Amino acid sequence: MAQRLALQRLLALPTRGPLASHGRAFGTSAGRRSTFNVQDGSDFQDRVLNSPKPVVVDFHAQWCGPCKILGPRLEKLVAKQEGKVLMAKVDIDDHTDLAIEYEVSAVPTVLAMKNGDVVDKFVGIKDEDQLEAFLKKLIGA
Amino acid sequence: SVQAHKEEENPRKTMEVNGFMPVPDSYDYDLIVIGGGSGGLAAAKEAAKYGKKVMVLDFVMPTPQGSSWGLGGTCVNVGCIPKKLMHQAALLGQALQDSHKFGWQFTEEVKHNWMTMTESIQNYIGSLNWGYRVALRDKKVTYENAYGEFVGPHTIKATNKKGVEKLYTAETFIIATGERPRYLGIPGDKEYCISSDDLFSLPYCPGRTLVVGASYVALECAGFLAGLGLDVTVMVRSILLRGFDQDMANRIGEYMKEHGVNFIREFVPIKVERVEEGTPGILKVTAKSTTGDQIIEVEYNTVLLAIGRDPCTRKIGLDKVGVNINERTGKIPVNDEEQTNVPYIYAVGDILQDKLELTPVAIQAGRLLVQRLYAGTTTKCDYVNVPTTVFTPLEYGACGYSEETAVEKFGEENIEVYHSNFWPLEWTVPSRDNNKCYAKIICNTQDNERVIGFHVLGPNAGEVTQGFAAAIKCGLTKEQLDSTIGIHPVCAEV
């Protein structure tokens, strides 16, 4: 994707997630604690692989339509789990090495990780019930 | 060679100390491809099929305006793909106009949003860039986003965007570095003008645009910009579409003129200045006549330069390995097996001297070259009778000789030209031009009236031309063409 346009879009994007005011103050502050954007390889090591809590890793891309639907949907449901699971977001163009390492082909690809291992995975968009089940399985198992 | 690898952290020092690079006796890779575009990627993927250890280096030097892009080369990022999509956007605008006569009713005025179109197109390109990364990974081709240049026999230096340098060696190299748009060399060109490298990701609508040049890039861009509703002018130094059949070129020009594109003929810009800041802002262009002393000054929001493309061969260290290039054009002469004067260095794509600058040609040449290298085949790339299409508002498809070249090669008395105007059925109801679409074939009377040139001007020219190209490759004659019953009602039946 052309970089000048990508930058323009980033700057113009309205802030989503934790900082967007939606009236549900409780939901957003919990969201801020449980969802984060991966900064680099060592950040991934610290906050995902070494995380004491299970983590869902959302591999997404700016040019991917379904990712824009799945992202917020997943974030909302992760926040609902009250801190039992965390969510890491990885932009595959910014962190291509990470995406290649975890064999991401299509996006969105979501990995469920526990103690540094991939225990579950899905590709493509899912509805709220399916996501809820996915998260519950990760927390429960 | 051991020395070179040990002192990898400071390759420059090694070179300075030794004064030359030693020839390595074992290589890091079987094949290194410099350039991840149409030709480069095709060659790399093909080589991996034969179990070879392959590396691809791709790096985009940002334009003067700061534009850059991902893996895939010109075609995917700033060429064929976005061009065709924007051309399609313009055609859809025309279709909306036509639709009234076919019964579609809408009262709202139809406007075009540049940002919506550009974002959609860039999203698609982003998915292609990723797709290529995945494809390379799946085929186990090593990819580095780094600038490759030769530093010695069988050795290249790869510099990534952080400035980190690494050395790699390979038994064989393929240069597929492609080209970049040429600038005029006049005051204000790099600071204020854009090129096709910038246009397809421009983060604002270009507005009133001056397109400088009469290449197919210039005419295609002018065409779709006008089709999107912008005020477009084309400044032409001499003729349109040099190298193409001139009768067809003039018909294309006429059509564009009648459909709202302004032409300023026989002028060249000599200065570009910024009158007002903004996105897009206002630029003032000063131009001089090529036939007299007349000077004109005109203002535009955007100036798009499309005066030609230059090969990226001057700064990749070819002198260090002794590869000859044409000093004037920068192109690399190769034999009919795409080999340069240095036996282990090959080249494919737009950088080749005297070869067609088309994506499918680069892909075919790249694949066949690799098959000859590693699969023991002897098939060479056939550069004759390659079909092509120019996606101007009225599309032009061609295969084989232009009328001028046919006359020059075979003599006027040995050529017979069969031609016809046609009126696409879809154009009748909305009362669109009934005498603009045109087709002609050029036959060699000395060779059984063999069809040696095919030209068609009309909608979907690319789709129409492809089949005829295959027929021409089989040696189509006029008689065979006559005895082929047409499909009705389509343009191709003419």
Per-residue pLDDT, averaged over B441-454, amounts to 93
Strands of B388-390's sheet, edge to edge?
Answer: B388-390, B396-400, B450-457, B437-444, B415-422
Domain membership of residue B488 (yes or no) is: no
Asked, for residue B419, whether it belongs to a domain, the answer is yes
Cβ atoms A92, A100 nearer than 8 A: no
Task: Write down which residue in B320, B340, B375 finishes a domain.
Answer: B375
* Residue B208 belongs to some domain of the structure: yes
Considering the domain boundaries, does residue B238 fall inside one? Answer: yes
pLDDT score of B440 more than 70 = yes
pLDDT at B493: 76
If one compares B492 and A107, the residue with the highest pLDDT of the two is: A107
Q: In angstroms, how far is CA B432 from the centroid of its own chain?
A: 30
**Based on the domain organization, do B159 and B35 belong to the same domain?**
yes
Q: Is B128 on the interface with A (CB under 8 A)?
A: no
* Mean pLDDT, residues A74-84: 91
Residue A88 bears catalytic tag: no
**Which residues on chain B are in Cβ contact (under 8 Å) with A3?**
62, 66-69, 201
pLDDT of B306 > 50? The answer is yes
Shortest alpha-carbon distance between residue A5 and chain B (Å): 5
One domain for residues B121 and B145: yes
Cβ burial of B6 (10 Å; 0-12, 13-18, 19+) is exposed
Q: Tell me whether the omega of the peptide bond preceding residue B311 falls within 30 degrees of 0, making it cis.
A: no
Specify whether B284 is located in the same domain as B189.
Answer: yes
Interface check A20 vs B, CB under 8 A: no
pLDDT at A6: 66
pLDDT of residue B16: 45
Same domain flag for B249 and B357: no
| CB-based contact, A8 to chain B, within 8 Å | yes
pLDDT, mean of residues B463-482: 92
At B203 the pLDDT is 94
CATH number of the domain that residue B292 is part of: 3.50.50.60
**In Å, how far is B428's CA from the nearest CA of chain A?**
39
- Find the helix packing angle between B80-99 and B216-227, rounded to 10°: 40
Q: How close is the nearest chain B Cα to the Cα of A7, in Å? A: 10
Q: Which of B8 and A115 is assigned the larger pLDDT?
A: A115
CA-CA distance, B219 to B295, in Å (whole number)? 24
Q: Are residues B231 and B343 in the same domain?
A: no
Domain that holds residue B458: 395-483
Tell me, yes or no, whether B453 and B332 share the same domain. Answer: no
pLDDT for B200: 96
CB contact A21 to B (< 8 Å): no
Q: Which residues of A touch B118 (CB under 8 A)?
A: 5
B215 is in an annotated binding site: yes
In a domain, B96, yes or no: no
Q: Is residue B23 part of a domain?
A: no
Residues B322 and B251 placed together within one structural domain of the fold: no
**b/e per residue A94-131 (b: at least 16 CB within 10 A):** ebbebbbebebbebbbbbbbbeeeeebbbeebbeeeeb
Distance CA B485, CA B195 (A): 45
- Residue B220, judged by CB atoms within 10 A of its CB (0-12, 13-18, 19+), counts as buried
CB A51 within 8 A of CB A82: no
* Angle B384-B386-B388 from CA coordinates, rounded to 5°: 150
Query: Do A139 and A54 touch, CB atoms closer than 8 A?
Result: yes
Q: For residues B63 and B150, is the Cβ–Cβ distance under 8 A? A: no
Kindly report the CATH number assigned to the domain that includes residue B453.
3.30.390.30
CB within 8 Å of chain B, chain A residues 94-133: 96, 100, 105, 107
The reply to whether B296 and B332 lie within a common domain is no
Span B420-429, mean pLDDT? 85
Task: Read off the pLDDT of residues B208-263 as tens digits, 9 standing for 90 and up.
Answer: 999 999 999 999 999 999 999 999 999 999 999 999 999 999 999 999 999 999 99
pLDDT(B10) > 70: no
Is residue B172 within 8 A of residue B34, CB to CB? The reply is no
Res A27: pLDDT: 41
Chain B residues lying within 8 Å of A102, measured CB to CB: none
Using an 8 Å CB-CB cutoff, list chain A residues near B65: 4
Q: What is the pLDDT of residues A9-56, one digit of tens each?
A: 666 544 444 433 343 434 445 445 789 999 988 999 999 999 999 999
Q: Is residue B97 part of a domain?
A: no
Contact B118 A65 (CB under 8 A): no
**Two tokens at B129?**
């860039």
Average pLDDT of chain B to the nearest whole number:
91
Is some CB atom of chain A closer than 8 A to the CB atom of B123? yes
The string of pLDDT tens digits covering residues A117-136 is 999 999 999 999 999 999 99
B324 in A contact zone (CB under 8 Å): no
Residues B211 and B347 in one domain: no
Pick the catalytic residue from B5, B100, B419, B488: B488
Residue from B114, B122, B142, B202 to probe the interface with A (highest A Cβ count within 10 Å): B122
Residues of chain A in contact with residue B67, where contact means CB-CB under 8 angstroms, are 2-4
* Global confidence as pTM: 0.86
Tell me, yes or no, whether B8 lies in a domain: no
Q: Residue B123: closest CA among chain A residues belongs to which residue?
A: A63
Is B124 close to A63, i.e. CB distance below 8 A?
A: yes
- Domain total of chain B: 3
pLDDT band at A91 (very low <50, low <70, confident <90, very high): very high
> Which helix H or strand E contains B271, and what residues bound it?
strand B267-276
Classify the complex by whether its ipTM is higher than 0.90, answering yes or no: no
Residue that is last in its domain, among B307, B339, B355: B307
Q: Is B9 in CB contact (< 8 Å) with chain A? A: no
Interior angle at CA A14, CA A9 and CA A19, nearest 5? 135
Tell me whether residue B153 is exposed, middle or buried, using C-beta atoms within 10 angstroms of its C-beta: 0 to 12, 13 to 18, 19 or more.
middle
Report the candidate in B313, B354, B363 with the shortest Cα–Cα distance to residue B333. B354
Q: Among B123, B125, B203, whose Cβ lies nearest the Cβ of A4? A: B203
Of the three residues B307, B328, B356, the one that is the final residue of a domain is B307
**pLDDT classification of B22: cutoffs 50, 70, 90:** low
What integer pLDDT is reported at residue B426 of this predicted model?
Answer: 84
Lowest mean pLDDT among B16-20, B261-265, B321-325: B16-20
The answer on B170 and B44 residing in a single domain is yes
Q: Where are the alpha helices (DSSP H) in B271-423?
A: 318-321, 359-374, 403-410
Closest to B134 (Cβ–Cβ): which among A62, A65, A105? Answer: A105
Do B297 and B213 share a structural domain?
yes
| CB-based contact, B127 to chain A, within 8 Å | yes
B391-407 pLDDT per residue, tens: 999 999 999 999 999 99
Whether residues B40 and B135 share a domain: the answer is yes
Sketch out chain A's domains with CATH numbers: 33-137 (3.40.30.10)
Output DSSP code: residue B308: -
Q: Is B216 annotated as a binding residue?
A: yes
